[in-house]
A = this chain, B = another copy of it.
Amino acid sequence: MLSIGTLARETGTKVQTIRYYEQIGLMPEPDRSEGGQRRYGRDELDRLAFIRHARQLGFHLDAIRELLNLADHPDQSCAAADSIAQRQLRQVEQRIARLEALRTELKRMVHDCEGGTLADCRVIEVLRDHSECLTDHTHIGA
């Protein structure tokens, strides 16, 4: 029987985050001690580890919910899980492509800046004048 703190430590999760997962129904309501504290077993540990791993792979909580449903019904076809992972892979590849474009432009900015005064600073200038920009940044969002 694990306390929430132990579970947190084992899975590299914050305590608050575990309670949040419970609140949104991603983790089940666990047993409680006499005093009302949460007590977890191995199942919950595994489930949380699954969630965290998927999060680290960049899956949204919605996708994780789907994957958990799938994992709970092992008789179904693999296709659904696979398509979620493929969607995720495509998203990761898109993000990489976008970031590589940003990297190019930032490198150029930094490289061209030769440490005079701000009046001639390439960094400021490039930001000021979009037309100098090679990158197609349509809709980036961090």
Residues of A within 8 A of B (CB): 46, 49-50, 53-58, 67, 70-71, 73-79, 81-82, 84-86, 88-89, 92-93, 95-96, 99-100, 102-103, 105-107, 109-110, 113-121, 123-124, 127-128, 130, 133, 135, 137, 140, 142
Nearest B-chain residue to A95, judged by Cβ: B99
Q: What 9 A-B pairs come out closest when comparing CB atoms? A: A56-B137, A74-B119, A78-B121, A89-B106, A81-B123, A74-B118, A85-B123, A82-B113, A71-B124
A81 to B74, CA, bound (A): 55
Task: Check B71 against A113 for contact (C-beta < 8 Å).
Answer: no
Residues of B within 8 A of A128 (CB): 46, 49-50, 53, 71
